[in-house]
Amino acid sequence: MNPRPRRLKLLRFLPNGWLATEGPAEDGKTLYLTFDDGPHPEFTPPLLDLLAEHDAKASFFLIGREVERHSALARRIAAEGHTLGNHSYSHPIFDALTLPQQLDEIERTEQLLRGIDGRARHAFRPPRGVLTFPMLARLVSRRHRIDYWSYDSLDYSRRPVPELLETIQRVPPRGGDIVLMHDDSEHSLTLLRELIPTWKAQGFDLRALPHLH
């Protein structure tokens, strides 16, 4: 297991205006937590409670149909100072769709997120990290930022938490890293109960990625 697979290293060569793999350069002591696949009525609320307990902010890349089902929870995420991101409407296998279908997945979710936080646009993160060149080109032409990640927590693997913690401790995140996590299971919550106090003790701030302008 490697939190920094080769694909992430290759993506860093793309211009940051096209695809963000690192957060804004602050003082070298900032981590950007990001959560995919929510909002989830069972797992997102305790995660929000944990973040509030530690005065931590994060970015939530939400699935449109889950926003429809749990709009009050999406509003809570925004109200507590976290950034909303677009993770498609139905989390399909993106490279099996035509470009118009991909864009429709993005736009349907944009409309829902706009109704939650009032912002015109939200950074997009493709399901499963699948990037197709036509979609990348279209979003670049629209100046619609794609937020990827630079550090993979591997929480979706559902491996035992002690095993994941050992991996994270062996290859820890660095300042500026965008950390990929998910809020559709207990795994991220259990991991972060251990990790957030450790990272804070090391002097890291936990911040949300910036909104699109």
In a domain, 15, yes or no: yes
In a domain, 25, yes or no: yes
Which structure tokens are listed for 145? 């930022």
CB hemisphere CA count around 211 (13 angstroms): 13
Q: What is the pLDDT of residue 4?
A: 87
Catalytic residue among 182, 183, 184, 187: 182
Q: What is the pLDDT of residue 212?
A: 81
Structural domain of 91: 6-206
Cα(179)–Cα(126) distance, rounded to whole angstroms? 15
CATH assignment at residue 33 = 3.20.20.370
Q: What is the pLDDT of residue 213?
A: 67
In a domain, 102, yes or no: yes
Catalytic residue flag (residue 155): no
Q: What is the pLDDT of residue 18?
A: 78
Catalytic residue flag (residue 182): yes
In a domain, 212, yes or no: no
Q: What is the pLDDT of residue 195?
A: 97
In a domain, 126, yes or no: yes
Number of compact structural domains in the chain: 1
Q: Closest Cα to residue 36, out of 112, 127, 119?
A: 127
The tens place of each residue's pLDDT in the chain, 213 residues long, gives: 789 877 777 777 777 667 888 898 767 899 999 999 999 999 999 999 999 999 999 999 999 999 999 999 999 999 999 999 999 999 999 999 999 999 999 999 999 999 999 999 999 999 999 988 899 999 999 999 999 999 999 999 989 999 999 999 999 999 999 999 999 999 999 999 999 999 999 999 999 999 886
Which structure tokens are listed for 184? 């559709």
In a domain, 211, yes or no: no
